[in-house]
Amino acid sequence: MEPSEARQHLDGARDSYQSAVLPPMPAWMPVTCGVLIGSGVALAGQAAPTPWLRVLLIGVAVALAGVGVLLYSSSRRKNGVRGLRGSARGQASTLTVCAIAFLISAVNASAELRWIYVAIGVIVGLAVVFVLGRRR
């Protein structure tokens, strides 16, 4: 087998794997998921004056981020990709641990740190848009 022919076969196998692991998604999906997850992150750190309001804000933040993740998961499911495989499984567990740590710090956020959580929310939202947009 010639090196160029072997390279073509390898590229074909890589493209096949990428299309199976990262199926195509609609153009609006990265922006929608980025807005939902970023606004959830920004909302989680807003220090409320009463404990019940703080719990409500964190609940809404978790719901917003959850809707963004479910939207992406449903898009993958519609394209025939079920569950996570390979490195995506490890990345998902890492992101889950980070999200739990973030929520714990957001519960104890002070009023002076609100702007930091808003900035983190904007950065996370833009990162989601960039990463998902790159996978389109």
* Residue 4 maps to a domain: no
Kindly state the tokens that stand for 15.
């493209």
Kindly state the tokens that stand for 28.
């609006």
Range of the domain at 84: 25-134
* Residue 82 maps to a domain: yes
Q: What is the dihedral of CA 103, 105, 106, 110, to 10 degrees?
A: 170
Task: Give the chain's domain count.
Answer: 1
* Residue 117 maps to a domain: yes
* Residue 104 maps to a domain: yes
* Residue 102 maps to a domain: yes
* Residue 6 maps to a domain: no
What pLDDT tens digit does each residue of the chain (136 aa) get? Answer: 788 887 887 888 777 776 666 667 888 999 999 999 999 999 988 888 888 998 899 999 999 999 998 998 888 788 777 777 666 677 778 888 888 888 888 888 888 888 999 999 999 999 999 988 886 5
Distance CA 112, CA 118 (A): 12
* Residue 19 maps to a domain: no
